[in-house]
Amino acid sequence: MEKQGDTRMDKLTDLLKEANLAYYMGEPFMSDREFDKLAKIANYTEVGTMGGRIEHLFPMYSLQKVFENEHTEKNPLAKYSGKTIWTPKLDGAAVSLTYCRGDFIRGVTRGDGKKGLDITENIKNIIPLEYDFNKVHQCITTPRPYSQITGEVVAPKSIKNSRNYAAGALNLKDSDEFKERDLTFVVYGIQPANELTWSEEMKNLNTAGFNTIIDSEWHEFPTDGMVCRIDNQIDFDEMGYTSHHPKAAYALKRIQKGVETTLVDVIWNVGKSGVVAPVGILEPVDIDGANVSKATLHNMAYINSLNLEIGCKVEVIRSGEIIPRIVRRVY
């Protein structure tokens, strides 16, 4: 007979695995400190504790999101008169690569945008380990001797749960197993900026052997909207940043289409901070290849705003998210 304590630890271990995957995918839902404390309780020793996290050379910001139905009114670059570039927003696992004078040094997952996990041994199997530094960064001033190249590790959309497949592969301890995965690294950014435009540097990186987001439309990989950015790198940096995103780029997102199911029950969980929060128990439903039976309800104000009742039909979304949520009552 299974002991109740063992069952609780199994649930905690599952939560830590979910948190670790979310961290790799750049969508952490708990802090480093919370993760480490829970990891000690569960004796969880997988990669992902605070000691294994490395600071990015430059922060990996998120993108401001604008949905298709509000683009005309909320376009952040509507007043910019210079050249802008549109590219697909690939849906994989974001990483940064550090090079010194064109030689690969290390690879790090996006994590929380400031620190990520060391994936050097795995990522080096699908990227150029060196490139002609002077040729790529040809500019008037002498370029700095280092660079951070950012991009997305993606798997073909023919693979079920391709985003999780890519993110999970980065966490593999066996590099030989990683090599067997059908994965591609696609560049979408490089820092520090210089006199070259973004599109010029992407073309140079492509010539140097990198896959870049402007090489192709990448139809074989999953996408999550489009990205619009300013091409002039100097203008890009001068527009500045918020604590969350650059002001010179944004993601144009498709209107999320949810899946209908039934709200079976509501349970109350005590969070790590002691806050009691409601969780909706759902009639199991498949969303983006994942079997979903629970969804966050945030608080009573959120429940009341949607007029939710036990037994009502609800719309649930999970697109680009780890934790499903109810967005409206259907009837």
- What is the β-pairing status of strands 184-191 and 211-212? parallel
Q: Residue 116: in which H helix or E strand, if any?
A: strand 115-117
Give the start-end residues of each E strand in 167-324. Answer: 184-191, 211-212, 223-230, 249-253, 259-270, 276-287, 290-296, 313-317
Contact indicator for 109, 93 with CB cutoff of 8 Å: yes
> Residue 89 catalytic?
yes
Q: Which of 238, 262, 265, 93 is nearest to 170 (CA)?
A: 93
**Residue 196: partners with Cβ closer than 8 Å, 6 or more residues away:** 137, 138, 139, 204, 233
Burial 207-227 (b: 16+ CB within 10 A, else e): ebebbbbbeeebeebbbbbeb
Q: What is the SS3 string spanning 50-61?
A: HHHEEECCCCCC
Alpha-carbon span 36 to 34, nearest angstrom: 6
Alpha-carbon span 201 to 234, nearest angstrom: 13
* The one catalytic residue among 83, 89, 160, 173: 89
Burial 291-323 (b: 16+ CB within 10 A, else e): ebeebbbeeeeebeebebeeeeebbbbbebbbe
Residue 156 φ then ψ, to 5°:
-55, 145
**Token pair in block for residue 43:** 């004796």
Contact indicator for 104, 149 with CB cutoff of 8 Å: no
8: amino acid identity, one letter: R
Which amino acids are annotated catalytic? 89
